[in-house]
């Protein structure tokens, strides 16, 4: 008799989260009463029962080797009974029931090169995409820009001296895998050259009707090339979204001469005080200048510091700008206002100033 083949397991979903909850959380699930921030990167949650859960949050590059994850696991064993979690912004959190272990844990994390912070009025880790590490449509790298910006702004991660929290996000193209469009500061990779049609490859690689219909501005039309069906790009209609490239590899937009970075400000997702808002264009274009992107770092630092100096307590970037007005924003930040700042896509008129409410 042949050995029975092991049954292939599918559709089991993730393990149930209860398996990974520390006992103190199981005991106090849904019973938390309040929390306090004890110091940068450290908070305590207090339960109705009086139980206290201490959280220590550390920054991470998101791209982690298995060696580093094993070191996190060792720290979890040493300090937290083997439990830990990650946050929606890629930080790692250690959950302690013993207050005395906080300081030794922080020392160990710092020795490992992971700063503690990112809670309350601070910059938390920058949510970001793959960039040149792993993406085909990236107009800039992600990890390198993030590393360069955070190296410069580290004091705002490890301290809580900002007027409010500040959320920075980076997406390396308009697909925005990181959904950066509602961030206090968004760093967005952009293309600026229309796709170059690879006419010899297009027919074999792509469906022409889906390429034509992929374009939001109807800039792509069917054409014939050497007797073969192909497409043609009406270049003045192209706004470089790369949707055609997503459906057709024979329409590349990536181009070192024209690709770069744009900076957007004033978005938020929280409902606190004001409603959620999209980020708005602050700087249309900055060059890709690896390995440290100095122009991008300077621009982001300037935005953070001008806001920090001028905003009132609790005022997020967008709320501050809404109070002072965009003319004052451009004046205070020293960013030149230019044609590209004025919307010309659908419903652009709604973004024009339609009153005489101005400051002089």
Regarding 294 and contact with another protein (CB under 8 A), the answer is no
293, 145 contact by CB (below 8 A)? yes
Member of 51, 87, 199, 322 binding another protein (CB under 8 A): 87
* Whole-number Cα distances in Å, 44 to 39, 51, 124, 144, 232: 10, 10, 18, 33, 60
In the bound state with another protein, the residue whose beta carbon lies nearer, of 67 and 236, is 67
- Please give the distance of CA 64 from its chain centroid, rounded to a whole number: 17
The continuous run of DSSP H or E covering 66 comes out as: helix 66-80
Contact 198, 231 (CB under 8 A): no
Using the minimum distance from each CB to another protein, give the nearer residue, 39 or 68.
68
Sites for another protein among residues 95-134 (CB under 8 A):
95, 113-115, 127, 129, 131-134
Round to whole Å and give the CA distance between 229 and 191.
Answer: 27
Name the β-bridge partners of 54: 44, 96
Is 272 a binding residue for another protein by CB under 8 A? The answer is yes
- Does 254 engage in binding with another protein (CB under 8 A)? yes
For position 291 contacting another protein by CB under 8 A, the verdict is yes
Q: Which two tokens stand for residue 122?
A: 């601070």
CA distance 164 to 308: 9
DSSP symbols for 259-293:
-EEEEEE--B---SSSPPB--EEEEEEEE--TTT-
As measured in angstroms, the least distance from the Cβ of 52 to another protein is 12
Q: Does 61 bind another protein (CB under 8 A)?
A: yes
Interface region with another protein, contact rule CB under 8 A, candidates 146-154, 195-203, 230-238, 299-307: 146-154
Q: What is the smallest separation between the CB atom of 345 and another protein, expressed in angstroms?
A: 7
Helix (H, G, I), strand (E, B) or coil at 210: helix
Residue 309 in the binding site for another protein (CB under 8 A): no
Positions 26 through 45 that interact with another protein (CB under 8 A): 29-30, 32-36, 45
By CB under 8 A, the count of residues binding another protein is 116
Minimal distance, residue 227 CB to another protein, in Å: 26
**How near is the Cβ of 197 to another protein at its closest, in Å?**
15
Residues in 221-240 at the binding interface with another protein, rule: CB under 8 A: none
């Amino acid at each position: 008799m042949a050995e029975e083949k092991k049954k292939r397991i599918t559709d089991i979903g993730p393990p149930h989260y209860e398996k990974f909850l520390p006992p103190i959380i199981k005991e106090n699930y849904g019973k938390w009463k309040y929390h306090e921030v004890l110091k940068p990167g450290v908070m305590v949650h207090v339960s109705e029962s009086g139980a206290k859960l201490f959280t220590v949050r550390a920054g991470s590059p998101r791209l982690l080797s298995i060696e580093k994850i094993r070191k996190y696991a060792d720290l979890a064993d040493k300090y937290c009974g083997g439990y830990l979690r990650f946050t929606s912004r890629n930080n790692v959190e250690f959950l302690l029931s013993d207050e005395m272990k906080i300081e030794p844990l922080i020392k160990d994390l710092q020795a490992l090169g992971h700063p503690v912070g990112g809670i309350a009025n601070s910059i938390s880790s920058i949510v970001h995409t793959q960039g040149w590490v792993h993406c085909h449509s990236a107009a800039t790298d992600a990890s390198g820009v993030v590393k360069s910006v955070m190296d410069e702004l580290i004091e705002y991660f490890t301290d809580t001296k900002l007027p409010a929290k500040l959320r920075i996000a980076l997406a390396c193209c308009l697909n925005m895998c990181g959904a950066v469009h509602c961030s206090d500061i968004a760093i967005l990779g952009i293309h600026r050259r229309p796709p170059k049609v690879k006419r010899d490859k297009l027919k074999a690689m792509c469906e022409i009707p889906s390429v034509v219909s992929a374009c939001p501005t109807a800039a792509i039309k069917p054409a014939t090339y050497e007797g073969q069906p192909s497409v043609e790009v009406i270049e003045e209609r192209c706004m470089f979204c790369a949707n055609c490239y997503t459906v057709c590899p024979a329409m590349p937009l990536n181009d070192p001469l024209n690709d770069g970075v744009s900076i957007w400000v004033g978005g938020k997702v929280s409902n606190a005080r004001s409603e959620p808002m999209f980020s708005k264009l602050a700087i249309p274009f900055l060059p890709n200048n690896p390995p440290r992107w100095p122009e991008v770092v300077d621009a982001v630092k300037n935005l953070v510091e001008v806001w920090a100096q001028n905003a009132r307590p609790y005022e997020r970037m967008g709320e501050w700008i809404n109070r002072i007005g965009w003319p004052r924003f451009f004046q205070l930040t020293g960013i030149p206002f230019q044609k590209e700042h004025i919307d010309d896509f659908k419903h652009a008129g709604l973004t024009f100033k339609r009153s005489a409410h101005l400051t002089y």
